[in-house]
Amino acid sequence: MTYDVTLIHGDGIGPEITAQTVKVLEATGLRFHWDEELAGMAAVDATGTPLPDATVESIRKNALALKGPLTTPIGTGFRSVNVGLRKEFELFANVRPARSLVPGGRFENVDIILVRENLEGLYIGVEHFVQIGDDPRAVAESMAIVTRAGCERIIRYAFEYALKHGRKKVTIVHKANILKMVSGLFLEVGRGVAAEYAGRVEANDMIVDNTAMQLVMRPEQFDVMVTTNMFGDILSDEVSGLVGGLGLAPGANIGTKAAIFEAVHGSAPDIAGQGVANPSAQMLAAAMMLDHMGELDRAQRMRDAVADTIVRDNIRTRDLGGSASTEEFGRAVARRVA
């Protein structure tokens, strides 16, 4: 069987880390047909737009994409490619794992999956100014919109993820004590869904500010976390910080029409072309793609290979305290996968 996947190399270090990731994916023994498309600055240079129609059509056809980091042109009127893709393909679930890999950090027992609702809440961008007297911008108002259907979809996704991946607990993160409607609805729906999984997946709920504190005091108490859009945006970066930052942070955007997998970090143009970028996050994102495809054993082989290359082989790029090049790291992971 051959898997059809849209491949977006990305900007900056994107082509370097994506090339090594493709090498590791093919070392698993799976066969891929890579439909290579453009997005970001590379697409602007070639087509005049950061998200060409050909790229959108490719993802629509394949329903699966591996994407390198992109640069959104600043001050040009172009919309964010990531936001555009979320809306186009209803990518309602942003999934961010954080797992301790490198010994010697503050925490060595972190293994958290954060599931963030991706389409609702404050980030929908419904906002306006209110004029008072002669000042047309005297008051700014922003509206958070949360739907019962959206809450149920993301929370149920988190519980199903826990079942599929052998996770034991889901924590529902909210601010229902203050935001009694928009966050209260999320909590209400969450408790209802949790009751359906009683006896199979443990559940609890926690106010977001307490969650932020608990994460840096006892992160081992968390397993799968599910929350709304803005809280998820903030907490996902905090969780990544527990394990050394975004260099080891993969992400998945799962939707009703497609699934897109990517490294969470940016395109790092300052080191592009130097061969020193760490491809770990992109490789771990590719392992998440294999999970989504149902190739669970090969996905775990990839995760284990990345971890063993760093920890057992002590082959590390310079951001992890080593001297290996991007290509040397890629070759080492590919050897272990094969």
pLDDT in tens, 109-158: 899 999 999 999 998 889 999 999 999 999 999 999 999 999 999 999 99
19 shares a domain with 79:
yes
Output the average pLDDT for the chain.
Answer: 94
Active site residue 175: yes
Decide if 203 contacts 194 (C-beta within 8 A).
Answer: yes
327 pLDDT above the threshold of 80:
yes
Is 103 part of any domain? no
299 shares a domain with 196:
no
Decide if 261 contacts 293 (C-beta within 8 A).
Answer: no
Active site residue 157: no
Is 101 part of any domain? no
The stretch 183-208 carries a mean pLDDT of 98
Active site residue 209: yes
- Domain count along the chain: 2
pLDDT digits (tens, 9 = 90+) for 38-88: 999 999 999 999 999 999 999 999 999 999 999 876 655 567 788 889 989
Give the model's pLDDT for residue 316. Answer: 94
34 shares a domain with 141:
no
Please report, rounded to a whole number, the percentage of residues in the chain having pLDDT higher than 70.
97
Is 327 part of any domain? yes
Residue written as token pair 């898997």: 3
**Mean pLDDT: which of 15-29, 76-90, 242-256 is highest?**
15-29
Q: In this structure, which amino acid lies at residue 338?
A: A
pTM of the predicted model, to two decimals?
A: 0.92
Which of 242, 259, 290 terminates a domain? The answer is 242
- As a whole number of angstroms, the distance between CA 206 and CA 306 comes to 33
Q: Assign residue 161 a region: left if phi > 0, alpha if psi is -120 to 50, beta otherwise? A: alpha
Catalytic residue (choose from 111, 205, 223, 237) = 237
Active site residue 123: yes
Please report, rounded to a whole number, the percentage of residues in the chain having pLDDT higher than 90.
85
Catalytic residue (choose from 164, 168, 209, 257) = 209
Band of pLDDT at residue 1, cut at 50, 70 and 90:
confident
The stretch 26-35 carries a mean pLDDT of 97
Q: Which domain holds residue 78?
A: 1-95+247-338
- The CATH number for 221's domain is 3.40.718.10
298 pLDDT above the threshold of 80:
yes
Is 102 part of any domain? no
Give the model's pLDDT for residue 247. Answer: 83
Residue partners of 39: CB distance under 8 A and separation at least 6: 8, 10, 50, 51, 52, 55, 67, 70, 81
Decide if 13 contacts 268 (C-beta within 8 A).
Answer: yes
